Structure 1
Amino acid sequence: MIVLAILTGVLTGILSGLLGIGGGAIFVVAAVFFLGVPQHAAQAAAIAAMIPTAIVGVVKHHRNRLIDYRYLPYLAAGIILGGMVGAYVANITADIVLRRLFSAFFALMSIQMFWSSFRQGRKAPAKQQDHDKH
Structure 2
Amino acid sequence: MLIPLLVTGVVGGFLSGFFGVGGGIIMVPLLMMWAKFDQKRASATSLLAIVPTSLVGAMTYASNHQVDVLVAVFVAIGAIVGAPLGSKLLRVLPVAVVHWTFITMMVIEAFRLLFVTDVTRGSFELTFFTGAGLIGLGLLMGVASGMLGIGGGVIAVPVFMSVFGLAPLLAKGTSLLAMVPTAIAGTIPNLRAGLVVLKDGVVVGIAAVAASFGGVALAFILPDQLSAQLFGLLLLGVAIQSAVRRLNKRAVKK
TM-score by length of 2: 0.43
In 2, Cα distance between the equivalents of 1:10 and 1:39?
Answer: 20
Q: Which sits farther off after the overlay, 73-82 or 23-32? A: 73-82
Separation in structure 2 between the aligned mates of residue 59 and residue 109 of structure 1, nearest angstrom: 26
* Residue of structure 2 in register with 1:83 after alignment: 83
Partner residue in 1 for 2:32? 32
Q: Which moved more, 1:100-109 or 1:18-27?
A: 18-27
The question of whether the paired residues in 1 share the 8 Å contact of 2:17 and 2:57 is answered with no
Once residues 8 and 43 of structure 1 are traced to their aligned partners in structure 2, the CA distance between those partners, rounded to angstroms, is 13
Runs of 5+ unmatched residues, structure 2: 120-225, 227-254
CA gap of 1:93–1:56, structure 2 versus 1, over 3 A, is same
Aligned equivalents of 2:61, 2:74: Cα separation in 1 = 19
Taking only aligned residues, the RMSD between alpha carbons, in angstroms, comes to 2.1
Pair 1:108-2:88 in alignment: no
AA matched with 2:81: L
Distance 1:61 1:19 in 2: 11
Alignment-derived partner of residue 56 in structure 1: 56
Name the SS for the 2:69 alignment partner: coil
Q: State the alpha-carbon separation in 1 of the partners of residues 96 and 87 from structure 2.
A: 16
Instruction: Indicate the structure (1 or 2) with the bigger Cα radius of gyration.
Output: 1
**Structure 1 pair 21/71, CA: closer, same or farther in 2 (3 Å)?**
closer
Shift of 1:93: 0.7
TM-score by length of 1: 0.77
Distance 1:33 1:109 in 2: 22
Tell me the equivalent position of 2:4. 4
Structure 1 unaligned spans of 5+? 122-131
Number of matched residues? 120
